[in-house]
Chain A
Amino acid sequence: MAIDKFISFESSAVPLAIENVDTDQIIPARFLKATTRDGFGENLFRDWRFDKNNEPIKDFVLNDDTYTGKILVAGKNFGSGSSREHAAWAVHDYGFKVVVSSFFADIFRGNSLNNGLLPVQVSEEFLVKVFAEIDKDPNAQFKVDLENQQFTIVATGESTGFEISSYKKECLLNGFDDIDYLISIKDKIEAFEEARA
């Protein structure tokens, strides 16, 4: 069951200049009652996006048409808290392909990579520049180049590298899935079990 192949792209970005955005903000627990993986985008950042009467909260960035694009830019320690993969599903299902931050929580990072959502970790300084660029021009374009592990502010040409294991990079580029891989090495797993029995 392959995931979508990750293709490098250019896009504008949506800024969320908040630190420690936790998984309960990304997708509140009361929306975790589904038994499929679909539709979580609707409730992404639910309680920041909608008030108690389900009316959009105007000044929240996802409700502001000024900002669009496939890249979400967020403050440091994005995705802390719960292991709910629903958080990664929600971000991806909403239409984001990349999240840029200066720091990601471990489990969120892993969950994202398993779902074709690329976490791009940049330095604090570079993150400030990215936010500043969007501030200047909400339509500012950014280039995500997974092959070369580069994230670029198109207008200024400023570029930064980002880390990803070569294995995960191959998986994303080719749409491979860890589960298929593990199933393919079942013999090895059985041999391991026998050896330690």
Chain B
Amino acid sequence: MGKTLFDKIWDSHVVSEIEGGPSVVYIDRHLVHEVTSPQAFAGIEKRGVPVFRPQNTVATPDHNVPTIDQHLPIKDALSKFQVDKLTENCERHGVDLYGLNHPYQGIVHVIGPQLGLTQPGMTIVCGDSHTSTHGAFGAVAFGIGTSEVEMVLATQCIMQPKPKKMRITVDGELGKGVTAKDIVLYIISKVTAGGGTGYFVEFAGSAIRGLSMEGRMTVCNMSIEMGARGGHIAPDETTFEYIKGRERAPQGEEFDKAVAKWKELKTDDDAVFDKEIVFDAADIEPMITYGTNPGMGAKIVSNIPSLTDIEDSEKASFEKSMNYMGFNAGDQLVGKPVDYVFVGSCTNGRIEDLREVAGFVKGKKKAENITAWIVPGSKQVEKMAQDEGIVEVLEEAGFKLRQPGCSACLAMNDDKIPEGKYAVSTSNRNFEGRQGPGSRTLLASPLTAAAVAVSGKIIDPRELL
């Protein structure tokens, strides 16, 4: 029987198997940020062991950093302490750090691909669930807890049971105004927020193949939002083209050799998945979420489900969610007022996303009632936005580009959506309080977010195209 892409990568990284237990899996690339690593560094120090393979580890601060005045010391004492701690730990243990104000600093899942650190066939982990993003390159990439961060620091390995395998195929052509974000919000709305638990997902099909690397990253990024361990896409010419020439990718002859190997990374025709789901791209339309988990999404042009559509066992949670959002079952989505628009995060904070927003708002004006935060995913994205004139286009339309970081995606810094306010956000989680205590988040694509910023309310972006 043939092997899946996942099998090929996983099996070649198993150091040993434990009877009745997990596998010891070797990790090629370990990404580190300030929030989930201090306890792990403290752990290895207490054990008296060094970082085993510092050259396989790269760190950057992202979760906590302010998005204005980054040249000044961080005002919040606890955030500053955490960011300083990361610097100290990296210095002490010989780990590469792209610190605040470094031209490569940024959200860890944006900088990995951008620098060519993310490559097909690798195992990649980070103490962050959206490590799944790197699967877009045909890697096996997933989030780990701090104890596991410590394991990787100490031994370059983790212990994990092999997940089951699922393939999600999306075939066909996407309609006008339908983007990668809509694909993944659509998939999660069908599979549900827990439907992928226990699986590692391969995304396949012509609609997926047709996406740019940025679009593929958006899809894989949110695979965790259906509970999956991670998601990936077999590498192809689009992938190789993206990686070519990036600073930390193989260069010249080495690159050609690598590509020859990467080309073998695909699921065999006779490989079997534990679960297969097929969608038709033609069924996908611009999406938005209305509830408090990413599975609660719908076509923008539709209504929030009515109570009769909800299973009995889920009614209480659904009503709690509607209550929090200040919505009623059955409400129409289009026309609902919005207060904030957030464009950014590791889901949609890349240059392609900013280009999309700028392309849309060019010659238009931001609605008066909207506060918009546009946050690039990295210093390099910020620089490209400056060089390409995106900053001017945004400013003419009444927007401002902030400085890179996770920002309002999880509101650990000052970028918090106030209580009770509605934010259309290009990030990945609409949990209660995710964007600040009492904040109400509606997840959507950058294109939809831009349309909302211009019209001041929920709108089908296709109306303005």
Residues of A within 8 A of B (CB): 1, 17-20, 22, 24-25, 28-30, 32-37, 47, 52, 75-77, 80-86, 88, 103-107, 110-111, 114-115, 124, 165-168, 178-179, 181-183, 185-186, 188-189, 192-193, 196
CB distance from A82 to the nearest CB of B (A): 5
Interface string of B275-302 (1 = CB under 8 A from A): 0000000000000000001000000000
B160 at the interface (CB under 8 A from A): yes
CB distance from B171 to the nearest CB of A (A): 28
Q: Knowing A106-B197, A179-B147, A189-B156 are in contact, say whether A33-B43 is a contact too (CB < 8 A).
A: no
CB distance from A44 to the nearest CB of B (A): 14
Q: Which residue of B lies closest to A22 (CB)?
A: B431
Within 8 A of A (CB), among B112-143: 127-129, 131, 143
By the criterion CB–CB under 8 Å, are A165 and B197 in contact?
Answer: no
Complex: A124 Cα to B161 Cα, angstroms: 24
Determine the chain B residues whose CB is within 8 A of the CB of A25 once the complex forms: 431-433
Q: Knowing A32-B412, A106-B198 are in contact, say whether A114-B22 is a contact too (CB < 8 A).
A: no
Q: B21 contacts which of A29, A47, A80, A167 (Cβ < 8 Å)? A: A167
By the criterion CB–CB under 8 Å, are B81 and A114 in contact?
Answer: no
Determine the chain B residues whose CB is within 8 A of the CB of A76 once the complex forms: 194
Determine the chain A residues whose CB is within 8 A of the CB of B314 once the complex forms: 19
Given known contacts A20-B194, A85-B39, A88-B145, what 6 new A-B pairs fall within 8 Å (CB)? A29-B63, A33-B35, A52-B438, A76-B194, A107-B145, A192-B26
Determine the chain A residues whose CB is within 8 A of the CB of B157 once the complex forms: 182, 189
Determine the chain B residues whose CB is within 8 A of the CB of A188 once the complex forms: 15-16, 24
Q: Which residue of B lies closest to A113 (CB)?
A: B147
Q: A36 contacts which of B24, B42, B49 (Cβ < 8 Å)? A: B42
CB distance from A73 to the nearest CB of B (A): 15
Determine the chain B residues whose CB is within 8 A of the CB of A34 once the complex forms: 78
By the criterion CB–CB under 8 Å, are B161 and A81 in contact?
Answer: no
Determine the chain A residues whose CB is within 8 A of the CB of B156 once the complex forms: 189
Complex: A103 Cα to B36 Cα, angstroms: 25
Complex: A192 Cα to B26 Cα, angstroms: 9
CB distance from A40 to the nearest CB of B (A): 11
Interface residues on B, range: 35 or more
Complex: A110 Cα to B144 Cα, angstroms: 9
Closest 9 CB pairs of A and B: A167-B21, A166-B20, A83-B143, A85-B145, A35-B38, A33-B78, A111-B145, A77-B194, A114-B147
Determine the chain B residues whose CB is within 8 A of the CB of A80 once the complex forms: 193-194, 227, 293
CB distance from A109 to the nearest CB of B (A): 9
Output the residue of A18, A28, A34, A86 with the most chain B CB within 10 A. Answer: A28
By the criterion CB–CB under 8 Å, are B154 and A179 in contact?
Answer: yes
Determine the chain B residues whose CB is within 8 A of the CB of A35 once the complex forms: 38-39, 42, 81-82, 85
B71 at the interface (CB under 8 A from A): no
Q: B64 contacts which of A33, A75, A81, A86 (Cβ < 8 Å)? A: A33
Q: Knowing A105-B194, A179-B151 are in contact, say whether A28-B22 is a contact too (CB < 8 A).
A: no
Output the residue of B64, B145, B433 with the most chain A CB within 10 A. Answer: B145
By the criterion CB–CB under 8 Å, are B431 and A115 in contact?
Answer: no
By the criterion CB–CB under 8 Å, are B19 and A167 in contact?
Answer: yes
Q: Which residue of B lies closest to A3 (CB)?
A: B147
By the criterion CB–CB under 8 Å, are B145 and A24 in contact?
Answer: no
By the criterion CB–CB under 8 Å, are B129 and A189 in contact?
Answer: no
